[in-house]
Amino acid sequence: MDAADRQKLFGTAEPLPEIYRLRAGTLEAELIGGNLRAVRFAGHEVLRTVAYVVRDRDWGTYAPAVEIVSLEETEFDFTVRTRSVCRATDGSELHAEAEITGDASGRLTFTVTAEPRGDFETNRCGFCVLHPIDGVAGQPVEVTHTDGTVEQACFPDLIAPWQPFKDIRALRHEIAPGVFATCHLEGDAFEMEDQRAWSDASFKTYVRPLALPWPYVLPAGQPFTQSVTLSLAGDVAGLETRAIAPASASPVRVQLTLGENLGEAMPAIGVVIAAEDARAILAYPATLHDLAPQSLLFSYDPLAGDGVDDLQRFAAIAALQPSARAVLECILPARDGVRAEVSAAAAAVERAGLRLDAVTVGPAVDRQSTPPGSPWPACPPLAEIYAEARNAFPGVRLGGGMFSFFTELNRKRPPVALLDYVTHATCPIVHAADDRSVMETLEAIPFITRSTRAIIGKAPYHLGPTTIGMRQNPYGSRTMPNPDGRRIAMAGDDSRQRGLFGAAWLVGYAARLAGAGIETWTAGALAGPRGQWLDTEKPEAGVVPAFHVLRGMAQLAGCRRIAFASSDASRVDGFAAVTWHGETVLWIANLGPEETVVALPEGGWRGFVLGLSDLDAAAAGRLLDEADRASPLTLPAYGVARLTGLA
């Protein structure tokens, strides 16, 4: 894939990481950047990732260059040795040497010895092991603790707000009937967090308890060693091999089928608008007109200096789209008394002439996460905040929850009875930012919505903003700068938002909302680094591919959603609805980098396919050329299709 194609697919020409596939008998793993992905035995996924991770004081992840010192492979075993250096901004360094071994019995060992050159500050340094969630969530697990005691438990079904297991030495679970995998960890105490809370598709076992202070210092000149060992037991010989298509295989046929009415409507679609983007939107309103969302979420933060002038610009934007509901995201400093602050915000809204349909309120302090083991910061009771907001903003709907992510909602649950709706956002690059991890986050979305429903019951559910880039970092002092358009966790600007990848991801996200009963989904930003313009400085340069998905979903708002099924939703997924005119509309996306052949549902179909060759036309924002589409349909890498059933 050349740089021009990478730019169109991912919004960046950054080269894709090199993948080396390790094999020993039917044990397989991918070596990427010195870490292991997709650990499988006889085709069964055992572990999603085994990685040695070094985090800075803002929970940013170091990405050192990894040198492969040696790699030896036979038919029955392999050994890899690597070394790397993490360099901190203060000049200190962490030198690491690793050895990875595997054999045909399914035994895999990953050992790292690291030595600081200079006192090295970190929030976490050591192994993270990711168990998959598909077929694992809610299932039994045997936990061996550091004192040798054994606990019979289950992986959480609903998302756990706190660590489900602590003080871990080993984890044993069933990967197939009668076959058990044991993951043994040495070198420190480990604990587990339910990463589905951040939309990661994994249960993460990580080094060093969060109850201990962080950041902490690794003393200069003191080497330390950690290791992870995977072993299998039970009816290993009888394990039936699953067919796995290698990355270079011919296109795989995926069968799509449609079902009955799901009994829910497609959500109203909204976009978030930040104060710093308002002038640009007013100067170039065409994108808002073309998008025609049902909701405009205006973000108002007095602590960031937002004031009446910003609210006046919000009012002007709302006037451009009078049919859309105007919703204010009102962040309270919670410093000078709740009543005074809410009253001041309401007075500013009135002076600005901004007519609101709803207001979401919350204290600024709740935008920062309170990790397990940390004291909760001082904050007025949410019941008091909601009561004062109800008085200050009469006649409009009142929302609450979290401006950040489900993680924080799950840990600090609002008094739902006092609210007209509950909201939270998601971000797929909190922990990892490689392409596969971002797409895998889609697996976690149904767990998030189901867990939210367990908290809020039948209360109206507003979701978003939903963007790949992180708009605000609850886990550090800033989002990560990304001037070179790299794949960086916690980046405020993720270039894939501007590539075909972003459009496919958005379709996949919409697919996973089936059954959640979302009332309003703020499914993107209108402008800025996470917005709908290819060039934030030149909106006339065109719109991102995801704009077409967002506009298509806005056109379907309120329509009846019908059941959609894919024979391999990890490759191709989508959603379907019946329009007000009785037409069946189908949106599908290829969620991977390989061309894929899709068997369409029965019946005739007409529509467009958005691929690399179509992006110039798509950037102009116009409707793409439609044609009759016969089954099977070939979807290009990260391709998106909108199809309408022919009567």
Q: What is the pLDDT of residues 455-485, one digit of tens each?
A: 999 999 999 999 999 999 999 889 999 999 9
Look at the block and give the residue holding tokens 């993680």. 407
pLDDT at 221 over 90: yes
Lowest mean pLDDT among 170-184, 285-299, 368-382: 368-382
3-state SS class at 290: helix
pLDDT at 251 over 70: no
Lowest mean pLDDT among 111-125, 336-350, 610-624: 610-624
Instruction: Please report which confidence band the pLDDT of residue 59 belongs to, taking 50, 70 and 90 as the band edges.
Output: confident
Q: Which CATH architecture has domain 253-258+565-646?
A: Sandwich (2.60)
Instruction: Please report which confidence band the pLDDT of residue 623 belongs to, taking 50, 70 and 90 as the band edges.
Output: confident
Question: What is the Cα–Cα distance from 277 to 37, expressed in whole angstroms?
Answer: 39
Residue range 25-40: mean pLDDT, rounded: 97
pLDDT of residue 1: 81
Question: What is the Cα–Cα distance from 324 to 10, expressed in whole angstroms?
Answer: 31
Percent helix, strand, coil in the chain, to 5, is 20, 40, 40
Question: What is the Cα–Cα distance from 579 to 583, expressed in whole angstroms?
Answer: 5
Bridge partners of 295, per DSSP, are 270, 325
pLDDT of residue 622: 76
Q: What is the pLDDT of residues 77-100, one digit of tens each?
A: 999 999 999 999 999 999 999 999
Bridge partners of 591, per DSSP, are none
Rg (Cα) of the chain, in Å, rounded?
25
pLDDT of residue 43: 93
DSSP run (H or E) holding 572: strand 572-578
Q: What is the pLDDT of residues 508-537, one digit of tens each?
A: 999 999 999 999 999 999 999 999 999 999
Structure letter (DSSP) for residue 520:
E
Question: What is the Cα–Cα distance from 95 to 565, expressed in whole angstroms?
Answer: 48
| Cα atoms in the Cβ-side hemisphere of radius 13 Å centred on 359 | 26
Residue 363 gets the label, from left (phi > 0), alpha (psi -120 to 50) or beta, of beta
| Percent of the chain clearing pLDDT 90 (strictly above) | 92
Instruction: Please report which confidence band the pLDDT of residue 401 belongs to, taking 50, 70 and 90 as the band edges.
Output: very high
Question: Tokens at residue 175, please?
Answer: 């990967």
Largest Cα–Cα distance in the chain?
Answer: 75
pLDDT of residue 97: 98
Q: What is the pLDDT of residues 570-579, one digit of tens each?
A: 999 999 999 9
Question: What is the Cα–Cα distance from 70 to 527, expressed in whole angstroms?
Answer: 48
Q: What is the pLDDT of residues 138-167, one digit of tens each?
A: 999 999 999 999 999 999 999 999 999 999
Question: What crossing angle do the helices spanning 382-392 and 338-352 adopt, rounded to 10°?
Answer: 30
Nearest to 506 by CA among 545, 475, 472, 533: 545
Q: Which of 60-64, 360-364, 614-618 has the highest mean pLDDT?
A: 360-364
Residue 337 gets the label, from left (phi > 0), alpha (psi -120 to 50) or beta, of left
Look at the block and give the residue holding tokens 């390989």. 594
Nearest to 565 by CA among 521, 503, 512: 512
Q: Where are the domains of the chain?
A: 18-234, 253-258+565-646, 267-557
User: Do 92 and 102 touch, CB atoms closer than 8 A?
Assistant: no
SS3 sequence of 86-136: EECCCCCEEEEEEEEEEECCCCEEEEEEEEEECCEEECEEEEEEEECCCCC
Question: What is the Cα–Cα distance from 127 to 135, expressed in whole angstroms?
Answer: 23
Question: What is the Cα–Cα distance from 136 to 142, expressed in whole angstroms?
Answer: 13
Same fold, 18-234 and 267-557: no
pLDDT of residue 138: 98
Sequence length of the chain is 647
Strand-pair category, 518-525 with 461-466: parallel
Question: Tokens at residue 292, please?
Answer: 């025609």
Question: Tokens at residue 277, please?
Answer: 């983007």
Ranges of beta strands (E only) in 419-528 are 421-426, 461-466, 518-525
Q: Model-level pTM? A: 0.95
3-state SS class at 255: strand
Question: What is the Cα–Cα distance from 48 to 50, expressed in whole angstroms?
Answer: 7
Nearest to 402 by CA among 418, 387, 382: 382
Question: What is the Cα–Cα distance from 520 to 553, expressed in whole angstroms?
Answer: 12
Going by CATH, does the domain composed of 18-234 fall within 2.70.98.10? Answer: yes
CA angle at 384 for the pair 382 and 387, rounded to the nearest 5°: 110
CATH value of 267-557 in 3.20.20.80, 3.40.640.10, 3.40.50.720, 1.20.1600.10: 3.20.20.80
The chain-wide mean pLDDT, for the chain, equals 96
3-state SS class at 554: helix
Residue range 395-400: mean pLDDT, rounded: 98
